[in-house]
A and B are shown apart, each in its own frame.
Chain A
Amino acid sequence: MRTGVFVCGCGPNIADKIDIEKIADDVSDIESVVLSETHGLLCSPDGKKYLENRIKENDLERVVIAACSPREHEVTFMKVCESAGLNPFMMQMANIREQVAWVTPDGESATRKALKLVRGAINRTTRHIPLEKTSIVCNPEVAVLGGGVAGMSAALLLADADRRITIIERDSSLGGNPENEELALRLSEAVKERTEITVITGLEPEEIVGFFGNFIIKLGEDADDLHAGSIILATGCSVDSDGRAIPADGFTKMAEMLRISTDRDGFPNREHGSLAPVSTPIDGIYVAGCAGGLCTLNDTVSRSEAVAGTILSSLIPGREVETEPRTSVISETLCRGCRTCLEVCGYGAISFNEETLVCIVNSILCKGCGNCAAACPSGAIKAQHFTPDQIRYQMAGLLR
């Protein structure tokens, strides 16, 4: 195994506190380490180029980068590995900035602690397994929840662009509670004429899972699941006894289902008040009409136009989204079907197979948070890239 270790000075951030030369020197005699050196600022354009060349020149099979938090630059360095032809999951970062340089007052202890973290990372990479990134094509179809003026006008605009739309209306017919009945009637007549638009009435979503490009809306046992790339919330609002506008009945449940945060009145938060006024913080979920708070008919229509425009410019047919490769996998042999994992999964990614009596992970929905792996009483779930084996080797390297 050919491991390369790069200790970054992060300008003065790390170098001022930690003796990075000593670290590079100390780990150089580890069996797998063929190269260990320091660099002033690895995330700079020069640094990235340097790293890429060193990986190529030395045929590195593992890379350990002692630098900042992976939250800051893990993606950066994974990309460098990829362009150097190395599977990005063969790289491991040791956070010697936030976890050491910035919090350990004494330089000598900081260097000692950093060395331990680097040794842990080196040992961990010996157990790394390449993971392959996959991408899936976005579904260009759109689901509209609520068949009032807002939902219908957005659907009609999208239909003009040849998109397929499904409107789900919990009442028995389209229309909602319009300010202008005549307009609502005209819109519902127009909707009926469009072959691009399917209308489902008398049903409500029971569960919504997925993400931008691939949502699955479950409508209960008697209806087929609906697949869509984007969801428009056009559920309207109502007025409470004090005369205040509140979200429509049942919206709170839906917001929970979609994991979108809400404001004090229960309306969905927007990604940005003025820059992204119809987008929720969750990619691919938009708010039309009074579902975002009471508004005039004019505003309703212009919000719908904004939603349709946003969807047409982002949910482009053929666009691909990358899925998370660090997902959980459940061993069918070890699973006892206790379904503890179902309760802790925040992404609706696990289901129970009634025939085999074991749980299964939908790897497209799984975000690799590891909740299930931690909760599984039977140790049947493995969080890829965070396997017990890898963690044990990291600990062993760290404690040696």
Chain B
Amino acid sequence: MKTILTDFLRKALTSGSVTSVMVPSRGPESSFPWTLVTDVSALSQAEPVPPVMSIQGAKALASFTQSETEGKLLAVMRPCEARAAVELSKLKQVSLQNIIFLTMDCPGAVPLMEYRRDNDMETDITTPDTLRPLCRQCTEFTSTGDLCLAMHGGLNSVLPLTPEGQILLDSLGIKPESDTSAWKEWTASLRSEREAISVESTKSLKDAYSGLEGLIEVFSGCISCRSCRTVCPICYCRLCFIDMKDRRSPASEYLERSRSSGSARLMPDTLLFHIGRMAHMSLSCVSCGMCEDACPSDIPVGRLVSMVSAGTTAVFDYRAGSDPEDPLPLNTFRMEELHEYED
């Protein structure tokens, strides 16, 4: 996979069809920083699909593309990263103009913690137990962006998914494999396997943590490090609502609360933070699992947000990251909608 993708990038850059390439590269101490490559020789360090996700690609992309980029940029990303970029474009944090996304049959990623203990770990789609929990249940593991490298069902070919993708393939003189039926069968079968895992995981989460009591329990281990927020590609506010000065209560309020029941919890907003994040993020959540991978307290925060997201996006018949033209549900006004929630 690495070789095919890197060769493709090399070809695209050499031909002049794209001005730059965005790809993770091998850094010191088995790290994989995102790099913007303009010189073909630098691609020798490229690691298009590293075993871990240390920084969400969309976050890296948003760090420099709020305004239109100069020349065509080919970005190699996992499907969830490309989808997050689409969501960010709707929030005007990424300008999709001039960006071509190349994704792949994503092998998933291994948990960061485990990778730190064992740098030889590789991602392997055939051993799901080694993958991050959200990768195990991911159903959107392929066919995202403008181009997608299909590597299963006997295929080894970059397939075009959009006219822009087709134009790039044409300009490189690459003919994609025309018979994709076996690969489609493979994707369908993996998708249904993963759907079953997802249903099972949702059920066990609901069983274990239901209602307000359940939420309090599951987040009781939260150390308020806010890492989940920091690594989330969609969380893009400069100052989080939870940190706003307006929300701070004076001592008198704590004393009053304490007097009424004997003691008052300090920094009482752990649950508000997580529920707030679910409310703010759930419509755009791409289930990339960054939050859960970053959590030092082993809270299944990614699976929880993802579960909530499945519910809220269904209400609006919305799929985060699938269509750049599909407006964000909360920014859309329709005269007639959601009658089932009236009264």
Contacts and interface: CB of A to CB of B under 8 A. Distances in A.
Contact of B66 (A333, A337, A380): A337
Given A357-B67, A375-B331, A388-B246, A336 B236 contact: yes
B45 to A, nearest CB: 32
A343 interface: yes
B239 A334 contact: yes
Interface string B302-333: 00000000000000000000000000001100
Contacts, number: 50
Nearest to B236: A336
Contacts of A336: 91-93, 236-238
Interface residues of A, number: 21
B114 to A, nearest CB: 34
A389 interface: yes
Interface in B82-102: 91-93
A375 B333 CA distance: 12
Interface string B188-220: 000000000000000000000000000000000
Contact of A357 (B66, B239, B246, B330): B66
B246 A392 contact: yes
B331 A343 contact: yes
Q: Which of B238, B244, B253 has the most CB of A within 10 A?
A: B238
B241 interface: yes
B11 interface: no
Interface of A is mostly: loop
B280 interface: yes
Nearest to A379: B241
Contacts of B331: 340, 343-344, 375
B92 A338 contact: yes
A339 B91 CA distance: 7
A145 B66 CA distance: 38
A118 B134 CA distance: 50
A334 B239 CA distance: 6
A135 B238 CA distance: 34
B67 A379 contact: no
A348 B246 CA distance: 28
Contacts of A343: 331
Nearest to A400: B256
Contacts of B247: 388, 392
Q: Which of B67, B241, B244, B246 has the most CB of A within 10 A?
A: B246
A53 interface: no
A58 interface: no
B246 A387 contact: yes
A334 B238 contact: yes
A377 interface: yes
Interface in A325-350: 333-340, 343-344
B277 to A, nearest CB: 12
Nearest to B62: A336
Contacts of A339: 92
A315 B283 CA distance: 49
Interface in A3-32: none
Nearest to A387: B246
B66 A379 contact: no
Contacts of A340: 91, 331
Interface in B62-119: 66-67, 91-93
B66 A377 contact: no
A392 B241 CA distance: 14
Contacts of A387: 246
Nearest to B234: A377
Contacts of A378: 236-239
A377 B237 contact: yes
A387 B67 CA distance: 31
Contact of A333 (B93, B238, B241, B280): B238
Contacts of A377: 91, 236-237, 280
Interface in B212-244: 236-239, 241, 244
Contacts of A396: 253
Nearest to B241: A379
Contacts of B92: 336-339
A387 B247 CA distance: 11
Nearest to B284: A377
Interface in A252-266: none
A337 B280 CA distance: 17
Nearest to B91: A338
Q: Which of A336, A343, A357, A387 has the most CB of B within 10 A?
A: A336
Nearest to A390: B246
A396 B237 CA distance: 27
Nearest to B239: A334
A124 to B, nearest CB: 14
A334 B93 CA distance: 14
B302 to A, nearest CB: 21
B317 to A, nearest CB: 20
A245 to B, nearest CB: 29
Contacts of A379: 237, 239, 241, 244
Interface string A295-309: 000000000000000
Given A333-B238, A377-B280, A378-B238, 6 more contacts: A333-B239, A335-B238, A336-B93, A375-B330, A378-B236, A388-B244
20 contacts: A335-B238, A336-B236, A336-B237, A337-B66, A337-B93, A338-B93, A339-B92, A340-B91, A343-B331, A344-B331, A357-B67, A375-B331, A378-B236, A378-B237, A378-B239, A379-B241, A380-B237, A388-B244, A388-B246, A392-B246
The 10 closest A-B pairs by CB, nearest first: A378-B237, A338-B91, A388-B246, A389-B246, A338-B92, A334-B238, A379-B241, A339-B92, A334-B239, A340-B331
